[in-house]
C-alpha cells in the first residue's frame, strides 16, 4: 500500500515537515519527479489554497503555483481582495506526475490516481493542522476528492462555504482548467466571484 505516514516527523512545525517531505518515498511518484514540492507560505495564513499537484515549472523550481496556473490564481486573488502574504499554497499530491509523448521532450501532466492521492494525504492534513486557516480554498476536483470526499461535485457545490473535518472550505474551479476553457473570460470571472466569497468570510 502507498502511504506517506512513515515519513512524517513525530513533531515539529512546517519547516520540519518540509524537510521530511523532501525524502518521502510513500508512493512511486518521487522516482520521476525532480523534487518534492511542499506547501509554501506562512503558518499564520488565514487561507490555505489546495491544488492538485505541482506542474512542470513547480517541479523544476520546488515551489507550488509558480507557473501559468499560479499567475492566474494570484491575479484572481488580487481582484477579489485576498492578500497573498496571508495565504498558504499547497497541493493534494506533492510530486509532479507526467508522461512524455513519444519522441518528445515536453512533460505532459497526468492526473494523480486515488492511491497516490490517499498516500500523500497525511502531508496535506499535517499542513492544515499546523496552519489552521480560517478558510480552505479547494481548487478543482482532485483537491475536492482529497478534502471533501468522493461524492462532492465542484460544478454543483462550488462557491459556497462547506464544513469539512479541517474547517470551513470553499471549492472552486482549478486555475489550470480556466486556462484550458473555451470561455476563459467567463471561467475566470467565476473564480473571482468564488474568491470574493472567501474574502467575505474573512472580513
Q: How far is the CB of 82 from ligand URA (least distance, A)?
A: 17
Instruction: Establish how many alpha carbons lie within 13 A of residue 193's alpha carbon, considering only the half-sphere containing its beta carbon.
Output: 10
158-197 positions binding ligand URA, by CB under 6 A: 176
CB 103 → ligand URA: shortest distance, Å?
A: 26
Q: Which stretch binds ligand URA (CB under 6 A): 12-20, 62-70, 100-108, 116-124?
A: 62-70
Q: Which of 39, 41, 64, 190 binds ligand URA (CB under 6 A)?
A: 64
Shortest distance in whole angstroms from residue 132 CB to ligand URA: 21
Q: Does 91 bind ligand URA (CB under 6 A)?
A: yes
Cα–Cα distance, 55 to 97 (Å, whole number): 8
> Does residue 69 belong to the site contacting ligand URA (CB under 6 A)?
yes
Is residue 41 close enough to count as binding ligand URA by CB under 6 A?
no
The secondary structure of 157-171, three-state, reads HCCCEECCCCCCEEE
x/- string (CB under 6 A) for ligand URA, residues 94-133?
----------------------------------------
Nearer to ligand URA, 92 or 198 (CB): 92
Which of 26, 39, 41, 51 is in the footprint of ligand URA by CB under 6 A?
51
Of 46 and 94, the one with the shorter C-beta distance to ligand URA is 94
Where on the chain is the footprint of ligand URA (CB under 6 A)? 51-55, 58, 64-65, 67, 69-70, 91, 176
Amino acid at each position: 500500500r502507498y502511504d506517506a505516514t512513515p515519513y512524517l516527523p513525530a513533531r515539529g512545525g512546517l519547516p520540519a515537515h518540509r524537510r521530511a517531505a523532501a525524502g518521502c518515498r510513500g508512493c512511486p511518484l518521487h522516482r520521476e519527479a525532480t523534487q518534492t514540492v511542499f506547501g509554501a507560505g506562512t503558518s499564520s495564513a488565514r487561507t490555505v489554497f489546495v491544488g492538485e499537484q505541482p506542474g512542470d515549472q513547480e517541479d523544476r523550481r520546488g515551489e507550488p503555483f509558480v507557473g501559468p496556473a499560479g499567475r492566474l490564481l494570484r491575479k484572481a486573488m488580487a481582484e477579489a481582495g485576498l492578500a497573498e502574504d496571508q495565504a498558504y499554497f499547497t497541493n493534494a499530491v506533492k510530486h509532479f506526475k507526467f508522461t512524455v509523448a513519444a519522441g518528445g521532450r515536453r512533460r505532459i501532466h497526468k492526473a494523480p490516481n486515488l492511491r497516490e492521492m490517499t498516500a500523500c494525504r497525511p502531508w496535506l492534513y499535517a499542513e492544515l493542522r499546523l496552519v489552521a486557516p480560517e478558510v480552505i480554498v479547494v481548487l478543482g476536483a482532485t483537491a475536492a476528492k482529497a478534502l471533501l470526499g468522493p461524492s462532492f461535485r465542484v460544478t454543483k457545490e462550488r462557491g459556497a462555504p462547506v464544513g469539512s473535518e479541517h474547517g470551513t472550505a470553499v471549492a472552486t474551479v482549478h486555475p489550470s482548467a480556466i486556462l484550458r476553457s473555451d470561455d476563459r473570460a467567463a471561467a475566470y470571472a467565476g473564480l473571482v466571484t468564488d474568491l470574493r466569497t472567501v474574502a467575505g468570510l474573512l472580513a
